[in-house]
Amino acid sequence: MPLTSEKMQVQTTPEDHRIAWLTALAISIHLLESAFPSPLPGFKPGLANVITIVVLMQFGWRTAVWVSLLRVLCGSLLLGTFLSPGFILSLSGAACSLAMLWLGSKLPGQGFGPVGYSVLAALAHMTGQFTIAWLLFIPHPAVWRLFPILLTAALLFGCVSGIIARAMCQHRLPCQT
Amino acid sequence: MTRADRILLVFVVCILPFLYARTWSPDEQARYVQIQAGDAEPIAAELSPDRILQVHGPLGDSVIEIKESQVRFLESPCTGQQCVHSGWLSAAGELAACLPNRISIQLLGQHPLFDAINF
């Protein structure tokens, strides 16, 4: 039997490379962030969001979806939380914020800037996550008392991420051709 | 910052206090206290004026104090004294019970918080 000398080749496009590059960056931030202790469950700066916003601003919503969902998937595999409640919350938050970003990007005129997108994404992420947490894990009305506090935190962290994203948008990313 | 950014931020900052007010509003004011002794029909007592009630049970008289729209078991003939240690009840829906003496008190508002409580 002849040995097959030909290597398995997967055809990749520059778009794939770009997504891989950006996702790797987002995963790194995600992992670094998870090492920090959190004072409250659900209380996280969400700096990986910065990458999603920058990608959205520079490469469009489709690429942002890839980067965001791959980040959630790979991040959970690396942290060992795949299919755990934390993963489900993370995924629902990401899905909700992507949906809001899609709506936001359809805005006529000048539309949102990085800060607006980031705040929108952070608030949508928190709201989606919270609703799922309430529906699936803690169906108790008292949970909603936490909601304004977490939403305030999301607003602040969203602003900070947005400012970082704006600073990043002013530079050329190495993956940009 | 674009105009949409500013509008979003202003909108969110306006919504937040409203959310806080909704979720952190104080507990419902109690209107009256319901006292149940044994198998008798529960009786409703007003929360003012301040006074001390004696309720008769199988072990003897339990003393219930009503003060400034709050209510508590002041003394009880039972051994455990759980009812006395329950302390003041102030919000609608709160409940204290003395099982040995078969007496329970519960503050009620307009909307009952619970249908039943299991211990």
Model pLDDT for residues A69-109, shown as the tens digit of each residue: 999 999 999 999 999 998 999 999 999 999 999 999 998 88
User: Higher-confidence residue: A176 or A65?
Assistant: A65
Q: What is the mean pLDDT of residues B86-98?
A: 88
* Token pair for B60: 């003897």
User: How many angstroms away from the CA of B16 is the closest CA of chain A?
Assistant: 7
Give A157's contacts (C-beta < 8 A, 6+ positions apart). A44, A45, A46, A122
Domain extent for B87? 32-108
Tell whether A134 is within 8 A of chain B (Cβ): no
Q: What amino acid is encoded at A160 in this protein?
A: V
Q: What pLDDT is stored for residue A144 in this prediction?
A: 86
Quote the mean pLDDT of chain A.
88
Q: What is the mean pLDDT of residues A122-145?
A: 89
The angle at the Cα of A10, spanning A62 to A91, to the nearest 5 degrees, equals 35
* HEC readout, A135-147: HHHCCCHHHHHCH
Rounded CA-CA distance A122/A114 in Å is 12
Among A65, A74, A62, which Cα is nearest to A25's?
A: A74
* Token pair for A116: 């607006």
Q: What is the pLDDT of residues B9-34, one digit of tens each?
A: 999 999 999 999 888 877 667 888 99
Q: What amino acid is encoded at A167 in this protein?
A: A
Identify whether B20 is part of a domain.
Answer: no
Contact A43, A153 (CB under 8 A): yes
Q: What is the pLDDT of residues A148-168, one digit of tens each?
A: 999 999 999 999 999 999 998
* Token pair for B64: 């219930």
A116·B9 Cβ contact <8 A: yes
B3·A110 Cβ contact <8 A: yes
Tell whether A112 is within 8 A of chain B (Cβ): yes
Q: What pLDDT is stored for residue A26 in this prediction?
A: 94
SS3 B68: coil
Tell whether A150 is within 8 A of chain B (Cβ): no
Nearest CB neighbour to A147, from listed B1, B4, B23? B23
Q: What pLDDT is stored for residue B22 in this prediction?
A: 85
Provide the domain count of chain B: 1
* Token pair for B105: 């008190």
Q: What pLDDT is stored for residue A177 in this prediction?
A: 45
Residues of A in contact with B13 (CB under 8 A): 155
Instruction: For domain A14-34+44-169, give the CATH number.
Output: 1.10.1760.20
SS3 A67: helix
Q: What is the pLDDT of residues B26-68, one digit of tens each?
A: 766 788 899 999 888 888 888 888 999 999 999 999 999 999 8
List Cα–Cα distances, B59 to A172, B49, B78, B99, B112, in angstroms: 84, 28, 7, 11, 30
Identify whether B64 is part of a domain.
Answer: yes
**How many other CB atoms are found less than 10 A from the CB of residue A161?**
27
A111·B4 Cβ contact <8 A: yes
The angle at the Cα of A85, spanning A83 to A89, to the nearest 5 degrees, equals 100
Identify whether B15 is part of a domain.
Answer: no
Tell whether A147 is within 8 A of chain B (Cβ): yes
Q: What pLDDT is stored for residue A5 in this prediction?
A: 60
Q: Read off the CATH number of the domain in which B70 is found.
A: 2.60.320.10
B9·A107 Cβ contact <8 A: no
ipTM for the complex shown:
0.82
Q: What pLDDT is stored for residue B116 in this prediction?
A: 63
| Spans of all domains in chain A | 14-34+44-169
- Asked if residue A64 has pLDDT above 90, the reply is yes
Q: What are phi and psi of B107, to 5 degrees?
A: -85, 135
Identify whether B22 is part of a domain.
Answer: no
Q: What pLDDT is stored for residue B69 in this prediction?
A: 86
Q: What is the pLDDT of residues A2-27, one digit of tens each?
A: 566 667 788 889 889 999 999 999 99
Enter the DSSP assignment of A175.
T
B interface with A, Cβ–Cβ below 8 Å:
1-5, 8-9, 12-13, 16, 19-20, 23-24
